[in-house]
Amino acid sequence: MITRAPFAKMNGLGNEIIVADMRGRADRITPQAAIALDRDPATKFDQIMAIHSPHSDGTDAYVEIINSDGTHAQTCGNGMRCVVQALSAQTGKREFSLETIAGILTASEHPDGQISVDMGRPHFEWQEIPLSEPFHDTRKIELQIGPIDAPVLHSPSVVSMGNPHAIFWVDQDVWNYDLERFGPMLENHPMFPERANISIAHVTSRNAITLRTWERGAGITRACGSAACAAGVSAARTDRTDRAVTVTVPGGPLVIEWLENDHVLMTGPAEWEFSGSLDPQNGNWARSEDAQGAA
């Protein structure tokens, strides 16, 4: 008999997250359950962060990341901050080592409630991102949207933060571009065999970037932590900014630091909305407070 799993509906700067506690269980949240949860306005999400028992010694948990279309993601910075806040509230710990399919991340909650996640090292080689054809210099690749002689978007920087990212640099307000139209075309462009997160970035100073992101498998999002890291690293790599920047996404600011050890540190908030329980098989759920919901 399938028993329900406890979950918290949370957000990281408006990036809608479900943190589900699957520890001690052999089952997993099915794609059908994820799609059902996303269809309900109360539980609509960008990512599910399913916390499983540790797979490796020395780690606190294994985190499976599920997109709103039922596919899997390698990493999610905003979701990781929500996981840390949830685990910290439950255990009283402040330091965590969390494993994903992209590797092991370390994270900590600060006394002011801000949470830092070490997102690991960026990867710049074309086959690591991956791209479908070789590019010697991934700071700027040949890819554009619009007329050949007057493209709307062109020459993105590409990088992997455990998941593939393309950053298009613009000189205008990021809201002037129809990302809702361009995003799905670029996400599924043949250049990206594993699809890609697509961002529009406007550098406003040596330490500030504004960013909008079409998230692979989720669509338009108010915040994408790995995209903020990708933009910060790519901006420094192309000498648009210094190595420490504030990346302002629609949901608010994230502090991104590309450290001397080549790791990328992301710092920002997480927010709890409500708790409940869910059926990992079909997505039926109920609130903890009043046992109401889509059950």
Query: Choosing from 76, 161, 191, 266, which is the catalytic residue?
Result: 76
CB contact at 8 A, 20 and 5: yes
- 229: annotated active-site residue: no
Q: At what angle do helices 77-91 and 225-237 cross, to 10 degrees?
A: 130
Query: Choosing from 19, 98, 191, 224, which is the catalytic residue?
Result: 224
Classify residue 175 by its DSSP letter: G
CA dist 62 to 17, 80, 114, 269, Å? 17, 11, 22, 21
How many Cα neighbours within 13 Å face the side chain of 263? Answer: 13
Distance separating alpha carbons of residues 253 and 83, to the nearest angstrom: 19
- 82: annotated active-site residue: no
Coil/strand/helix, residue 274: strand
The residues that are catalytic are 76, 224
